[in-house]
A and B are shown apart, each in its own frame.
Chain A
Amino acid sequence: MRKIARYVSVIGVVALAVGLLLSMIPSVSSSVPDLLVILGVVFLVAWPLSSLLTLKRSQARVFFGSATLGMGMLLVLVILVLLNVLGARYTLRWDVTRSGRFSLSQQTKRVLASLPEKVQVLAFFPEGEGQDARDLLTEYAASSRRFFFQFTDPDRHPEKALEYKIRDYGAMVFTMGTRHERVTSATENDFTSALARLMSEETTWVRFLTGHGERRVEEEDKEGLSQLAALLQDEGYRTEETLLLRDGLPSVSDVLLIAGATTPLLPTEMDSLLAFVRRGGNLFVCLEPHPGPGLEGLLRPWGVEPRSDVILDASGIGSLFGMSEVVPLVAHYEENHAITQHFSAATFFPLCRSLSLADSLPQGIEATCIATTSEASWGETGSLDAPEISFEPGMDTEGPLCVLAAISWDRSDLGDTSSAIPGRMVVAGDIDFASNGFLRISANGDLFMNCLSWLAQREELIGIRPKEVRGGAMMLSAQAARSIFYLVVLVMPGAVLLPGLIVWLRRR
């Protein structure tokens, strides 16, 4: 018995180690490692118990016979468990970092304190990644008993990714009741904004302008926008088609989308739209190729001028994705703009017009080109039916060309002091990139959604500034690196080993 007891622990450790190792090999059936791990745990738990069985009869009598002792041990365990339950529930927490980088802002604490029900966050990251998100989520969970989070590797659990329609790493889905909010960057501002949106009863409407040959949301062919409408609804937006003359102007908190108008807007409609934009309404204009419906008058005051051309891309990269020259690939994005700051995936803009941004704009208006084509592209002004098409200096515009522009303006600078909400507009030289035929290609859908969430001011609801973290780069010279190596690998262990050797020699 004594011998068996001695080796129980060894068997336990071996079973546990082999089980854990096997669990890392994907081709091995999961039941074998699971069984080994369970066996290992059972043996490891059994070992101290079996050790007790090896006690001599008289010792055992003392050990087991004393009810007081047994009760005492149980009592101590219960007290410790209670202490830990209370300790986990009522915590004091100090962030000793220099900038308090793990401390949440008062705004976030207020939002967390007002959570009406449980919020569960599912973060989709590959194994071992997403440390920033984990740090931040840990702080949220530490501040609220109603906040929980879990990390999931979308490669290991594709069914979860499918359930939440996740196609990229780094997406986090905040769920409260039946409502979901998706966040793609791990900042306190984005997390708290997502919580505020979950709690808010208001829903942002995306209204599709109709009556001028625009693409329709119910059309399911490759030019239609039915998939876009479905994607918007998945993201928590509500969609509706609107006719300005019939329905009037939408609310300024909504987003009005002009999805490729092909006939001109009436002068009264143009005036209404201008008034809508000036009031702080959010406008998303997606253009059709030249000749357009004369939306230039609407865009010009904001510094955007669509050129009368079609972008051609001779780089040949698009052909890798099965695209022709008229489908330029876009892979250059403005890093300093909220829409594209974390965006790097390729997008495609078929039959796209290039946008020209004015050099000087009235005070308060800021127009930024956020996505551009490659240098091998140009804006073709001639007919696309010509037998040979090439770049003609003087006629065509040389690449890289702007395909997507974001404009924001401070309304107080424009003489409107009624609201502090800045006005916003996004102009795309193309609507096809968001149509059924192209929405799911590469990251087109993500780029569209980023534009929309910026327009709907979803990320700006809260305005928590990220904390500054000092202690950036540090470059070692070859000499310094060598010195550190000698110090930590040779000198420090050697300084301890030497007296050890002396002790050993003396003992001999």
Chain B
Amino acid sequence: MSKIGTIFLKEFKGYFLSPMAYVIITVFLLIGGFFFYVMISHFSMVSFQLAQYGYPESEININDMVLRPFSMNLSLILLMVIPMITMRLVAEERKSGTAELLLTAPVSPWHVILGKFLAAVGMIGVLALLSFAYPLICLLIGDPDPGPMLTSVLGLFLLGSAFVSCGLLASAASENQIVAAVATFGFLLLLWVVNWASIVTEGTLSNVLEYLSVLSHYEEFAKGIIDTKHIVFLLSLIFFPLFLSAQLLAARHGR
């Protein structure tokens, strides 16, 4: 455990010793903040209009009109920033030749992969925690339902971790960081839209494609639903790429 901890600390600190983490978090907060401002302003405008025409307040809801679509937007921003977080994890070590050094140390590929994975997940944790500021603002100015706020953050964290795991595999498979980032983005985008094909397919294939879409799993967290089905899917999506990465690393270095 201490070996994983050591690698985790080295990697996690590494993010903050370079401008990398700050740029990623700034981009995340800037785009997220802009979306949030637009949505909350629009909601306020609709509230005004409803009051003006005498419609009951219950016609609209801050959770449905702001927090839920905003959670979906945040996950889309994650899709864009995660390749930047994960691209260097293994590829950089291979490029600079430190991978050999690392693997000649008394650590197993699993230690390396888990340490690096946890460091990137740590970054996702920071993003998820910071994203909690937006619902808190809603809580200060309105009366949102706190349940979906918490499940959204949980969902965002699990989704981010699954994305990280896929990115880590791409980084382990390539020594070029740009290729790793582009491949991660492409694969995640594919996971995002795979259910579109379910419209033109029928039967089991359609159900499988719908199931493979990360969006349909995350959507329920944003609603305020915790379903073991989605947790099992996201945990599988975390574990399998991690497993492949560890195998790949082991194979490359003859372990």
- A residues adjacent to B (C-beta < 8 A): 6-7, 9-10, 12-13, 16-17, 20, 40-41, 44, 47-48, 51-52, 55, 58-59, 62-63, 69, 72-73, 76-77, 80, 83-84, 87-88, 91-99, 102, 131, 135, 138, 142, 468-476, 480-481, 484-485, 487-489, 492-493, 496-497, 499-501, 503-504, 507
Q: Which residues of B contact A88 (CB under 8 A)?
A: 211, 229, 232
Q: Once bound together, how far apart are the Cα atoms of A487 and B130, in whole Å?
A: 13
By beta carbon, the residue of chain B nearest A72 is B247
The listed residue (B32, B137, B142, B190) touching A16 by CB distance below 8 A is: B190
| Cα separation A208 to B41 with both chains bound (whole Å) | 55
Q: Could you say which interface size class chain B belongs to?
A: 35 or more
B residues adjacent to A (C-beta < 8 A): 16-19, 21-23, 25-27, 29-30, 32-34, 36-37, 40-41, 43-44, 46-48, 50-51, 56-64, 130, 133-134, 137, 141-148, 150-151, 169-170, 173-174, 176, 179, 182-183, 185-187, 189-190, 193, 211, 220, 223-229, 231-233, 236, 239-240, 243-244, 247-248, 251-252, 254
Instruction: Tell me if B57 and A102 are in contact (CB < 8 A).
Output: no
In the complex, the answer to whether A73 meets B244 with C-beta atoms within 8 Å is yes
User: Bound complex: CA of A135 vs CA of B61, how far in Å?
Assistant: 15
Say yes or no: A473-B57 contact (C-beta < 8 A), given A493-B33, A496-B26.
yes
Which of A474, A488, A500 is B142 in contact with, Cβ under 8 Å? A474
* B240 contacts A48, C-beta separation under 8 Å: no
Which residue of the partner chain B has the closest CB to A86? B232
Say how far A398's CB is from chain B's closest CB, in angstroms: 25
A77 and B240 form a contact (CB under 8 A): yes
Q: A9-B186, A93-B228, A470-B143 are in contact. List 18 more A-B contacts (CB 8 A).
A: A6-B174, A9-B174, A9-B182, A13-B182, A13-B189, A40-B186, A47-B183, A52-B173, A55-B252, A62-B254, A63-B248, A96-B147, A96-B150, A97-B148, A471-B143, A471-B145, A472-B57, A475-B51
Is B190 a contact of A474 with CB atoms below 8 Å? no
Once the chains are docked, how many angstroms separate the CA of A97 from the CA of B195?
A: 27
A431 to B170, CA, bound (A): 70
Q: Are A59 and B251 in contact (CB under 8 A)?
A: yes
Is B147 in contact with A97, judged by CB distance below 8 angstroms? yes
Query: Given the complex of chains A and B, what is the CA–CA distance between A89 and B190 in angstroms?
Result: 25
Contact of A102 among B26, B43, B224 (CB under 8 A): B224
With A473-B47, A497-B26, A503-B22 already in contact, the answer to whether A484 and B225 are too (CB < 8 A) is no
